[in-house]
Amino acid sequence: MPNPTSRHTKSRRDKRRANWKLSTVSNGLCPECQEPKLPHRVCRHCGTYNGKKILEVIEKETV
């Protein structure tokens, strides 16, 4: 297989890489406690997922 005869410029390389951006995470609201949570994950505040209690949440003590 032949090698390229000329190099691509830095601007041509960077144009191709310009579309590799991070997308923002979409947060939803928990239907039980109305706190923001990631989709398809258990709520950290109330421990529910899909309307069912999954985790027992222990409150942190503040001193």
What is the per-residue pLDDT for 38? 94
Q: Please give the Cα distance from 10 to 57 (Å, whole number).
A: 52
Q: Please give the Cα distance from 2 to 60 (Å, whole number).
A: 65
Q: Please give the Cα distance from 11 to 4 (Å, whole number).
A: 18
pTM for the model stands at 0.56
Summarised one tens digit per residue, pLDDT across range 17-62 is: 888 888 888 899 999 999 999 999 999 999 999 999 999 988 877 7
What is the per-residue pLDDT for 52? 93
Residue whose entry in the numeric block shows the structure tokens 């923001």: 36
